[in-house]
Amino acid sequence: MKSLPKLVIFGDLEKRGVSEAIDEFLGFAKGKAEIVASYGIEDLKQTCTTALPPEDAKVLKKCDYAIVFGGDGSIISTARNVSKASLPVIGVNVGKLGFLAEFSVAELQDFFPRLKKGTAPIDKRMMLNCRVFSDGRGKDRDEKFYSAAINDIYITAGPPFRMIELKILVDGQSLAGCVTDGLIISTPTGSTAYNLSAGGPILSPKIEAVVITPICPHSLSFRPIVINADSTIEVFGVRVNDGTTISIDGQVSLNLTINDVVRVEREDSDFLIVSNPLRSKWDTLATKLSWAEQPKYKQYPNV
């Protein structure tokens, strides 16, 4: 007889409806699964590392799936912390948009037999990591910040809101210099987030690539560019503001100074997510963001 699936539960208990959704699922899962542990999301959102403390990492190794109740932000903060354990994440949407949180509680219950059989479809998504060095040369001994990123790494001008000047290198070769309000470096998963709002391209989440998108550049010709996933990107601040900040997934941030260099590379672990077979990524684009929606033509009666 096949053993019960071992689950770890993550939930943003401060979000309306999450506690109720977890309670409903726990009632359903009684006798059908083993709940190994549960964690609150708020403890993870400001975490830079890609692993929970050692004692919690041991717990994750015992689990088959992590189920996250909340929205996409909840999944992102969880994924940054569980990726090293290669633990597939199931997102249950109790939020607004739900790009990554693909299941409702009812859909998860209908899907549950596939978890028990071990036949759940799992997508592998690439991640990035960001390191900040304090002396402008990028030597490991001078590292002052590290974090993995699921969606994006972006630099914003910040107070007093003057445009900043950045120099961008890819694999040690100069790519561009720009006077701008900021810069977004995005994964394919994050291409539908800040990158999309800034005019960047939509990438299939299974593609292995990185998007570099300027934020309101003082240039008509600096367009977003897609580069190889294994590239090393370095960003130098030629001119920055007192409040210039680098942000990871909109959840972890650091103030940048003129002497800092930002290095972005592919993370050595991937984000594993269980996909909902009832939905495709393109369905999500169409239904959530009305992508490629046809014009609403005026209907004329027959004459």
Catalytic residues: 72
In sequence order, what are the residues at sequence separation of 6 or more whose Cβ sits closer than 8 angstroms to the Cβ of residue 303? none
Amino acid at 69: F
In sequence order, what are the residues at sequence separation of 6 or more whose Cβ sits closer than 8 angstroms to the Cβ of residue 136? 236, 259, 260, 261
Measured between alpha carbons, how far is 240 from 234 in angstroms, rounded to an integer? 16
Q: What Å distances lie between residue 168 and 180, 182, 185, 264, 266, CA to CA?
A: 12, 12, 11, 11, 17
Radius of gyration of the chain (CA): 21
Q: Are 199 and 213 contacting, i.e. CB atoms less than 8 angstroms apart?
A: yes
Measured between alpha carbons, how far is 197 from 214 in angstroms, rounded to an integer? 11
91: β partners: 68
In sequence order, what are the residues at sequence separation of 6 or more whose Cβ sits closer than 8 angstroms to the Cβ of residue 299? none
